């Protein structure tokens, strides 16, 4: 084992391929259904939203997909990202565990989201797209896509969940600096937004609503605009696997192999990005690493949701997919981890979780910020509230190792920095944060909010 605490790769070590878990997954994905007809979607339906190369990646079962050279060159602004050993955190905890983290906050936009944003902007530019629409929760995805669109000379409209728009103004400022237009969702610019506001003029918004608005704008633009999604779909998770592919090389440099790989989950992109290459090693090469997804107890789609077909958005415009869901009409509490406030989860991640290949746990907000502050005081980096969920679980795993005397190796994805989240930390520091959860009655009512899907469509 190396005594270093930082493990850096060189430019030539940047992955040349994304890893597609669909090639090795022992479970096949159920079909994606049209939101209107509830029949399997056609390429024509998807082409109203996405360029063809993105659609082909969405349905591909090839194990490796080559990263275009233009995307790799853009990646070199920040990739390969560092792998760090958190020795000061280990000392603070008094644990025999070795804790490593992959630092995706090293990207210019501040999170892992650039890994897919640059790819999606490239494929849209190649297809002749002049303008994109998208949603964003905490603003990490919106920031990343704004930067990517600036690089590839594409206009961008961002529909930002209203509570985050108000909580995180600096993210909006960054997006606007990159050249994007940013709107607090729900807006009066779309039928989906107006419908929500008619029922609740003070609606805090949700990712489901913001997705509805962005998708509506693209779908009704007569081909003038396309839509870009920051998580959930296969092509997004595919682009994120550069994280795990680099981490495999860096753990080898460290002379260790993780017993557990941890990531926060909202839609599933950063967790899948680090975990899927390690899942491949489990499936193909006999490794036995635990893969642990951590979500907020306020939006517990994996741990308490229903595994069923549901709309990907609130207005029922996005495709219907099988996923662990809290119901597409679910309005989450206004927790500060805006990127994790989604009613569902990536279908591929849900299928693997349902098959027992991935574990999940939900953690409360206050304990998550407690872990974030401990990490900041020991390691110096301020984590995004989303990433702090992974830190919370990594600390809990390390404390369990302390209790048992086990020399466990823990790897987690620090998916973004929290430099734009200081209002959340201020609230924590002054004792103003509260925990939120879902009642049993709300959980039991989820099936009532799900679409009725004809059996013929899912056989």
d(CA 294, CA 271): 9
* Strand partners of residue 413: 102
- Average pLDDT of 257-280? 97
Residue 310: strand, helix, or coil: strand
d(CA 454, CA 439): 30
- Return the pLDDT at 413: 98
How confident is residue 4, by pLDDT bands cut at 50, 70 and 90?
confident
How confident is residue 457, by pLDDT bands cut at 50, 70 and 90?
low
- Average pLDDT of 288-305? 96
CA atoms within 13 A on the CB side of 328: 25
Tokens (6 digits) for 127: 């297809």
Q: Are strands 306-311 and 320-325 parallel, antiparallel or unpaired?
A: antiparallel
4 backbone φψ class: left, alpha, beta (φ>0; ψ -120 to 50): beta
pLDDT of 175 above 80: yes
Task: For 395-412, write each residue's pLDDT tens digit.
Answer: 999 999 999 999 999 999
275 with 360: CB under 8 angstroms? no
Going by C-alpha positions, the residue among 292, 277, 410 that lies closest to residue 359 is 292
- Return the pLDDT at 315: 84
Mean pLDDT of the chain: 94
- Return the pLDDT at 208: 86
Task: For 64-122, write each residue's pLDDT tens digit.
Answer: 999 999 999 999 999 999 999 999 999 999 999 999 999 999 999 999 999 999 999 99
pLDDT of 336 above 80: no
- The CATH class of the 41-67+112-234 domain is alpha beta
Q: Can you give the residue ranges of every domain in the chain?
A: 6-14+79-110+236-451, 41-67+112-234
153 with 178: CB under 8 angstroms? no
- Return the pLDDT at 3: 63
Stated length of the chain? 459
- Average pLDDT of 248-252? 98
- Return the pLDDT at 449: 87
Does the domain at 6-14+79-110+236-451 match CATH 3.40.50.1100? Answer given as yes
pLDDT of 286 above 70: yes
- Average pLDDT of 285-289? 96
pLDDT of 183 above 90: yes
Please tell me what DSSP assigns to residue 10.
-
| Cis peptide leading into residue 113 (ω within 30°) | no
Q: What is the DSSP string of 151-176?
A: HTT-EEEEEEEHHHHHH-HHHHHHHH
Going by C-alpha positions, the residue among 227, 240, 253 that lies closest to residue 318 is 227
CATH topology agreement for domains 6-14+79-110+236-451 and 41-67+112-234: yes
CA 92 to chain centre: 29
d(CA 149, CA 387): 25
Tokens (6 digits) for 109: 């936009």
pLDDT of 2 above 60: no
Q: Provide, rounded to the nearest whole percent, the portion of the chain with pLDDT above 70.
A: 98
d(CA 143, CA 175): 5
Task: For 115-169, write each residue's pLDDT tens digit.
Answer: 999 999 999 999 999 999 999 988 999 999 999 999 999 999 999 999 989 988 9
- Return the pLDDT at 131: 97
Return the H-helix or E-strand segment holding 139.
Answer: none
22 with 29: CB under 8 angstroms? yes
- Average pLDDT of 9-32? 95
**Residue that has been written with the tokens 């259904």 in this structure:** 33
């Amino acid at each position: 084992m190396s005594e270093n605490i930082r493990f850096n790769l060189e430019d030539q070590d940047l992955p040349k391929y994304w890893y597609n878990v669909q090639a090795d997954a022992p479970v096949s994905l159920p079909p994606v259904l049209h939101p209107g007809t509830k029949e399997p979607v056609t390429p024509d339906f998807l082409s109203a939203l996405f360029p063809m190369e993105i659609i082909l990646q969405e349905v591909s079962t090839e194990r490796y997909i080559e990263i275009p050279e233009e995307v790799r060159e853009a990646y070199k602004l920040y990739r390969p990202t560092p792998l760090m050993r958190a020795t000061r955190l280990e000392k603070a905890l008094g644990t025999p565990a070795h804790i490593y983290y992959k630092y995706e906050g090293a990207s210019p936009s501040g999170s892992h989201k650039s890994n897919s944003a640059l790819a999606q902007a490239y494929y849209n530019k190649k297809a002749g797209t002049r303008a994109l629409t998208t949603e964003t929760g905490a603003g990490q995805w919106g920031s990343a896509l704004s930067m990517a669109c600036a690089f590839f000379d594409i206009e961008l409209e961002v529909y930002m969940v209203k509570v985050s728009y108000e909580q995180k103004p600096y993210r909006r400022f960054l997006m606007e600096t990159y050249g994007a237009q940013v709107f607090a969702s729900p807006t009066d610019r779309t039928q989906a937004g107006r419908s929500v506001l008619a029922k609740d003029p003070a609606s805090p918004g949700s990712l489901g609503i913001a997705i509805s608005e962005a998708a509506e704008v693209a779908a009704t633009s007569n081909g003038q605009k396309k839509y870009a999604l920051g998580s959930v779909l296969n092509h997004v998770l595919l682009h994120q696997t550069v994280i795990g592919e680099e981490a495999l090389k860096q753990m080898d440099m460290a002379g260790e192999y993780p017993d557990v790989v941890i990531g926060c989950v909202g839609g599933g992109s950063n967790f899948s990005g680090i975990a899927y290459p390690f899942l491949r090693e489990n499936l193909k090469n006999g490794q036995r690493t635990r893969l642990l997804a951590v979500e907020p107890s306020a939006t517990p789609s994996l741990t308490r949701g229903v595994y069923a077909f549901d709309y990907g958005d609130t207005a029922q415009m996005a495709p219907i997919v099988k996923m662990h869901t809290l119901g597409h009409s679910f309005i989450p509490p206004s927790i500060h981890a805006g990127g994790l406030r989604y009613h569902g989860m990536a279908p591929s991640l849900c299928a693997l979780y349902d098959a027992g290949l991935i574990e999940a746990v939900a953690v409360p907000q206050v304990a998550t910020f407690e872990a974030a502050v401990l990490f900041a005081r020991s390691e110096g980096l301020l984590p995004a509230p989303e990433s702090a969920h992974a830190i919370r679980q990594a600390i809990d795993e390390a404390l369990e190792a302390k209790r048992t005397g086990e020399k466990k190796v823990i790897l987690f994805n620090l998916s973004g920095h929290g430099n734009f989240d200081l209002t959340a930390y201020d609230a924590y520091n002054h004792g103003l944060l509260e925990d939120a959860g879902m009642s049993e009655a709300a959980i039991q009512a989820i099936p009532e909010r799900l679409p009725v899907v004809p059996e013929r469509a899912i056989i």
